[in-house]
Structure 1
Amino acid sequence: MEAPVNSERASRKDDHVRLAHEQRGDAPGANAFDDVEFVHHALAGVDASRVDLAVRVGEWRWSTPFYANGMTGGTEWTTRINRELAIAARETGMPMACGSVSVALDHPEAARGFAVIREENPTGFVMANLGVGRSADDAVRAVELLHADALQLHLNAVQETAMPEGTRDFSCWEASVERVVAASPVPVIVKEVGFGLSRRTLLRLSELGVRIADVSGAGGTDFLRIENARHDSDARRSGHDFSMLSGFGQSALACLLDAPEGGPALLASGGVRNPFDVVKALAAGAGAVGVAGSFLEALLDGGAETLVPLIERWVAQTTAILALLGAAAPAELTSTDLLVRGRLAEFCRLRGIDLTALATRSGP
């Protein structure tokens, strides 16, 4: 007999949100975004009134170059979070994703925690979210539950490794990706959950039919750390501490700079703290940028009433930064000159990435 959704599985959903919020308070302020600088050209700026933040992602046009990435859903508390997030997305026109809907597919009583998104945001751009390894039929059900415009399919091998109850068999994941891509009635966006998609992985995803990928790198919500914290006092945890993997994976910027030609169109998330980070990711090759932690913090502080003004500030500040850099549209940022320093520069050198070319993209 299946456990009710309000037992261990529901506790895990709430723990993820609670621990992510708590760990933001004591996480180091610096991340790979601080290793990237723009060369300032004092006469290159444009009129901010000419800047259009709209971006093309696959077949879609989004009015903002950032979106709310998948967070949660399925319990009473997380239903309230999804409701407020959907209201904020509706009021600002920002695309949004939900957290994994697997719990609702297995426990129909949890579906309310996701259906509320469409109730509050009936015409906005919404992405459903499902873990790799689920069936093609589950992918179709996930899309139908939210009347979704796209399906995020997440890869979370590091998180599964840190979970005592997690899977240890990743051998079927490639076949699962291929089946879901073929069966989904909407485009599939394959994403990591905070450990990055390597050049090799992106090439393989392209071979499996994936056209859009979110590199979702390290530096933001850390599910390895969350799973370690969630089970610290659990008897099952004996001999199951994976804190030695702290820092595992690549940052979003590392993944973007290392991405192959001919791979999927790229989205980026992981450690995005402010509009300047958004602009850096766009300049490094992202078509749009996912945000979770900063928006979740605003939601927990004051719901949509707090998040809406924050999103509006991000729009205004992103517009101003593009004008400063001489970019009338996000796509033009890929011609700006980037200086890469620190650990990110070391990664680039080891991977054969030409840092001088990045620093002189606009010409002499």
Structure 2
Amino acid sequence: MVEESNLRSRRKAEHMEAVRTLGDVPEASWFQDVKLLPNCAPEVDVEDVSLATTLCGVKLASPIVINAMTGGTEEALVVNQRLARLARKYGLAMAVGSETAAVRDATWEHTYTVVRDEHPEGAVIANVGMSAPTETALAAVELLHADLLQVHWNVAQEMFMTEGDRAFHGALDRLAETVRQVDVPLIAKEVGQGVAAPEALRFVQAGVSAIDVGGRGGTNFMAVEAWRQGAALDDDWQDWGIPTPAALCEVVQAVGKKVDVVASGGIRSGHDIAKAVALGASAVGIAAPLLRLVSRPDGEAAVAAFIEHLHDTLRKLLVLTGSRTWGDLRKRPVVMSGGVRDWLMARGMAAFVSEVGGRDEHLHSDTHMGFRLR
């Protein structure tokens, strides 16, 4: 038991070091192929703009979610403590890393519960892996008095992890059982491979309340596992996965009217966030940039500046698209080109591309805002 706990703790420490060392390739996320339509006559004041959203019925002051990162080491305690303080300051939801370490060994509980201690009234998201039994999920939620639960799906990472799982049959049945047993909404979360429409439908059939698409473009956990083994990921695997905007469109088109959708994977700017919300995301998850910043000597100040910059950009983009709320922005056209468009067209989603690109209702009518268009 002690040896297993030590090995798990060491692995978590190595994961954090790998994320800080490897960086990511933002252009791999394809957000550059998504464009918002500017509004040169917005009739919106900055003070009228609201960044508020809801996720699974939980009201949030911002769409930014500090996504699952860590726990189970003393270094993780510091990271989670600092990030939780900032989550409280800016009204952000925060998810912890997989809590299996704490459920199996109470020694590490404090590295997770510090998030609730520092963010007592905020939205806190518990986290377990797809292989975790329902009892572990229940304990994870109870440990944090969590508002939501993530069940993360990391098959690609497990396949490249020397000590990883190799048996995945039955995971969807476990998910459905966990949904039935836990008393908080459940989010099915990918971690870099992306969620396609067929799997989104399966998650919904299992009863989840939200799906985090976890697309390609951020941390590559196959590369992380290769790094842990002292190697580099083979070139053939570098572009494995569905880029985040494409995964987001797949999920929104398939199940977006039934569950909330979270965009994550290479979200690095306010522009990425606004584009994701315009395409249908209720919230966006950011992890690696925050881990790198919070690990600096001026960590909390650096993360605070980053969040404030994101929020400032979001307010500007809402004004510049004539949107007071995210609901307004979702009525605005989104133009997709390049890889995103090619992907969606190849996947038979031409109608979705046309729908989001032609949201200007007045262009299909002879009147707009009470004026006759001549």
Tell me the TM-score normalized by structure 2: 0.91
Query: In the alignment, which of 333, 336, 341 is matched to residue 332 of structure 2?
Result: 336
1:309 maps to 305
Contact conserved, 2:26 with 2:218, CA < 8 A, in 1? no
**Aligned partners of 2:226 and 2:100: how far apart in 1?**
22
- Output one character per residue of 1:18-46: Cα deviation in whole Å (capped at 9) or x when no partner: 1111111x736553111111232322352
1:287 maps to 282
C-alpha change, 1:172 and 1:243, in structure 2 (3 Å) is farther
- Output one character per residue of 1:57-115: Cα deviation in whole Å (capped at 9) or x when no partner: 22211110111001111101111100101111111111111111111112221111101
Moved over 6 A (4+): none
Contact conserved, 1:45 with 1:325, CA < 8 A, in 2? no
2:226 maps to 228
Query: What is the CA-CA distance between 1:120 and the residue it aligns to?
Result: 1.5
**Aligned partners of 1:89 and 1:135: how far apart in 2?**
29
2:267 is the alignment partner of 1:268: no
1:349 maps to 345
Contact conserved, 2:49 with 2:315, CA < 8 A, in 1? yes
2:3 maps to 3
Query: In the alignment, which of 136, 139, 162 is matched to residue 138 of structure 1?
Result: 136
Query: In the alignment, which of 225, 246, 249 is matched to residue 254 of structure 1?
Result: 246
- Output one character per residue of 1:334-356: Cα deviation in whole Å (capped at 9) or x when no partner: 22222211111110110122233
Equivalent residue letter for 1:245 = W
Query: In the alignment, which of 297, 301, 322 is matched to residue 292 of structure 2?
Result: 297
Query: What is the CA-CA distance between 1:307 and the residue it aligns to?
Result: 1.6
2:370 maps to none
SS in 2 for 1:202: helix
**Aligned partners of 2:181 and 2:299: how far apart in 1?**
36
Contact conserved, 2:28 with 2:216, CA < 8 A, in 1? no
**Aligned partners of 1:356 and 1:157: how far apart in 2?**
33
Contact conserved, 1:224 with 1:243, CA < 8 A, in 2? no
Structure 2: give runs of 5+ residues left out of the alignment.
364-374
SS in 2 for 1:286: coil
Query: What is the CA-CA distance between 1:244 and the residue it aligns to?
Result: 3.2
Tell me the TM-score normalized by structure 1: 0.93
Query: What is the CA-CA distance between 1:118 and the residue it aligns to?
Result: 1.5
RMSD over aligned CA atoms reads 1.8
Contact conserved, 1:45 with 1:324, CA < 8 A, in 2? no
**Aligned partners of 2:134 and 2:18: how far apart in 1?**
31
Query: In the alignment, which of 51, 58, 73 is matched to residue 53 of structure 1?
Result: 51
Query: In the alignment, which of 157, 170, 179 is matched to residue 181 of structure 1?
Result: 179
1:169 maps to 167
2:322 maps to 326
2:77 is the alignment partner of 1:79: yes
Equivalent residue letter for 1:274 = S
Contact conserved, 1:35 with 1:344, CA < 8 A, in 2? yes
Greater mean alpha carbon deviation, residues 288-297 or residues 253-262: 253-262
Query: What is the CA-CA distance between 1:151 and the residue it aligns to?
Result: 0.7
SS in 1 for 2:295: helix
Q: Report % sequence identity.
A: 33
SS in 1 for 2:126: strand
Equivalent residue letter for 1:170 = F
Query: In the alignment, which of 117, 122, 125 is matched to residue 127 of structure 1?
Result: 125
Equivalent residue letter for 1:189 = I
Query: What is the CA-CA distance between 1:309 and the residue it aligns to?
Result: 2.9
C-alpha change, 1:266 and 1:322, in structure 2 (3 Å) is same
2:106 is the alignment partner of 1:108: yes
Contact conserved, 1:75 with 1:113, CA < 8 A, in 2? yes
C-alpha change, 1:305 and 1:41, in structure 2 (3 Å) is closer
SS in 2 for 1:3: helix
**Aligned partners of 2:183 and 2:258: how far apart in 1?**
22
Structure 1: give runs of 5+ residues left out of the alignment.
none
Aligned residues: 356
Query: In the alignment, which of 52, 60, 63 is matched to residue 62 of structure 1?
Result: 60
Query: What is the CA-CA distance between 1:300 and the residue it aligns to?
Result: 1.4
